[in-house]
Chain A
């Protein structure tokens, strides 16, 4: 009689106990996995069924170091070469009436160029810079100019150095030269 009374008091007792036991087991499993350092995220792991001790990273893909596409690299390098090409153009025999007068240097920064140019004229015998222009815009020229040094009458073997100049910073980007002969008449 009393047993029947107890059953009526808690008819789901067995089921509740079962659920509680399952919850405790699940909690223990989660705790154990957290402690051994293995990822809790199922997406980040793949267990080898034959070797359950290793966990592969799902981010790993088949392959080695990237294979370079040489053609693409060469194309991009060729573009840089083209960008850095400089056309140098001037009168290779500028003449000056005397050391202080203007001479016909005729320096032309051709329209095909990509950068402003600065031109320096350096004596070959002593490396003295006898002329330095300011920046010459693309498509512009300097027809006549005075030397920075009052040279005596004579003929001077020189090198004209043409610099590509960054229009933003004024930094020299590249250089090419031409052999010229400077003549001072008096």
Chain B
């Protein structure tokens, strides 16, 4: 009796482990069958998890420090970059600069272009290049806010994290600043905002 019971239990276990197979029936010599390949993207990677798209994770600079010498020369950082930690590629959709704390945007150029500006005029010009692409600059059109990039341009594209040489781009920047009658330390004169988006096929 025990042997029969054991056999029944073992058989039950084997049947429970069976996996449903979607197989096309091919009943003629040389016939073809179609097998669907299904995909579910979920938050935890399980077939029954919450539906979710690929997670975006990008590291972006929010500080562009500058040091101005007494002769007006401005030194900037050299290690500024954007790093894509996402599985999928991304691109820089836009870059906006907003003047802050009473400072005003003006046209970027050689510092000599500010020779006629008054001391403490609190104006500055700013330029930037992403990924070795075109240099974008502030102009004299708006003193408070300007869009340096309004659509992705060359240099703004980053591959997914799997491409170690393509998932990071450098950000080079430069500035000219009007003279100061008094020293300043860590003064926040502007904010630069990068907006990132998926680099989609569409």
Contact = CB atoms under 8 A, between A and B. Distances in A.
Interface of A: 65, 68, 70, 73-74, 76-78, 80-93, 95, 104, 106, 108, 110, 112, 159, 161, 164, 173-179
A175 B63 contact: no
A76 B65 CA distance: 9
17 contacts: A78-B79, A80-B77, A81-B77, A81-B80, A85-B60, A88-B196, A90-B55, A93-B52, A95-B51, A164-B62, A173-B63, A174-B63, A175-B193, A176-B62, A176-B195, A178-B196, A179-B196
A84 B75 contact: no
Nearest to A110: B57
B78 A74 contact: yes
Nearest to B195: A177
A10 to B, nearest CB: 71
B67 A81 contact: no
Contacts of A81: 61, 63-65, 77, 79-80
B150 interface: no
B198 A177 contact: no
B79 A89 contact: no
Contacts of B60: 85-88, 176
A53 B166 CA distance: 71
Contacts of B71: 65
B62 A178 contact: no
Contacts of B78: 74, 77-78
A175 B191 contact: yes
A6 B193 CA distance: 105
B70 interface: yes
Nearest to A143: B43
Given A78-B78, A104-B50, A87 B85 contact: yes
A111 to B, nearest CB: 12
Nearest to B70: A65
Given A89-B56, A174-B191, A77 B67 contact: yes
B75 A179 contact: no
B147 interface: no
Contacts of B182: none
